[in-house]
Amino acid sequence: MGARPVPLDELCRRAELVTVHAPELPETRGLLGERRLALLRDGAVVVNTARGALIDTDALVRHCATGRIGAVLDVTDPEPLPPGHPLLRLPNVLVTPHISGARGRELRRLGEFAVAEVERLSRGRPLRGPVHPADLHRIA
């Protein structure tokens, strides 16, 4: 496909679509702020399905309000957005209620998985989805 890693600033200058997939950590908060949003080319679209705090909301409003860029947001900061928030009124911004990946049975499957894990633990069997404290800093 010819894809290669590039620094984030270069990606912002070149991409027509920037999609954010990262955990919310101190170093990722505001990852797309005023400076990087200004680097985006005219007509670019920002997609965020990760964490709302990765994008500076005020800067995103300013850039989208000019019509220069657009956004598709499954997460926002704050979440949910208050009624009347500018992002909800802009024609070039689509906001979904944090369900973009949902297909209808996720909550049931998550519940069934959690119950199965408790049953495995109570029987002394290894967990299928253990989370280790050393990994918590990088988990979304």
Residues with active-site annotation: 51, 79, 98
Going through the chain in order, the beta strands assigned E by DSSP cover: 17-20, 45-48, 70-73, 93-95
CA-to-CA distance for 117 and 41, rounded, in angstroms?
47
Q: Give 3-state DSSP helix, strand, coil % of the chain, rounded to 5.
A: 35, 10, 50
Question: Cβ neighbours of residue 22 under 8 Å, at least 6 residues apart?
Answer: 28, 31, 50, 51, 54, 140
